[in-house]
Structure 1
Amino acid sequence: MLLPVINQSRHALPEYQTAHAAGLDVRANLTEPVTLKPLQRALVPTGLFVEIPVGYEMQVRPRSGLAYKHGIGIVNSPGTIDADYRGEIKVLLVNLSDQDFVVQDGERIAQLVVARHETVQWQPVSTLSETSRGASGYGSTGQQ
C-alpha cells in the first residue's frame, strides 16, 4: 500500500524494524527533551501528516521495549487515526513508572499499524442468537 505522507520532522519516515513486523516505529519530533514525571502524560509530536485511505485506520500502539524497560505507555492505547484526519500525528505518552523518564528528540516512541476496518449499520432486534458463553462477562471464560 502506498500511503501519502508529509514529513515535517528532522527524522526519517517510520520504518519496520524487522522483515515481518506489523508496526512502523515512529520518532518524537522535539525542539527540546520532554520529561515525564511518574503518572504524568504528554502529547508528543512526530512531525508527520498522513492521508489514510477510506476503509482503513492507523493505530498508534505502545512500544514494548519502552513499556518493559521504563513503564512508558500510551493513554488511549491503541489510538486511532481516522481516514479523514489531516493533522499532525501526536502520541499521548504516559509514565506508569515511579521514576522520571526523558523523551529525547528522535527517540522511537510508538508503533503505527495500518488496519482495514468495516463500517456498520445497526440492525435493531429484540433478541440475539444463543452461544455457550451467553452474557457471562469479564473473567468468565475458562471457568468450570
Structure 2
Amino acid sequence: MREEKKVNAGAQFIQTQCIFDLEGFEHYLEALDRRDVLQRVKLMAGITPVRSLNAAIAMSTVPGIKIPPAVFKRLENSADPKEESIQMTLELIQKIRVLPGISGIHFMAVGWESIVPRLIQESGLSKN
C-alpha cells in the first residue's frame, strides 16, 4: 500500500482523493487501520461538492474517483441540482467526520469555492 510506504518514509498526513463512495472509503480506512497507518499519521478526507450532473459525470472519469449511482440519480431527479449537491455533501461530511482515524476535512470545491463557508457552517465544522 502506497500510503504505508509514505508514512514509513516520514509522511505526517495523508490527504485523500475526492470521496463520494462512503462504503469504499470505509474499506480504505479499514485497510489503513490493519497496517497501523492511522495510528501514525493524520488523515484529511477530501470532500468535493459538484455543481451539476454534468460535473459529477466529468468527475467520475478521473482515475481513482468512484461516484455511486445514487449520487447521479439524486442529481438527475432534483429540481435544483446545486442544492441537492450541497445536501449530499453535508450528509457525507456528517458520516465521515465521526469515522475513526479522520483528523479533518479538505474541501476541494473546484470552481465553486464560494460554497465552502456554507458547508463549514452548516456541517457544524465551524467553531463559531
TM-score category by the smaller chain? under 0.3
Which structure has the bigger radius of gyration?
1
Give 1 or 2: higher strand fraction: 1
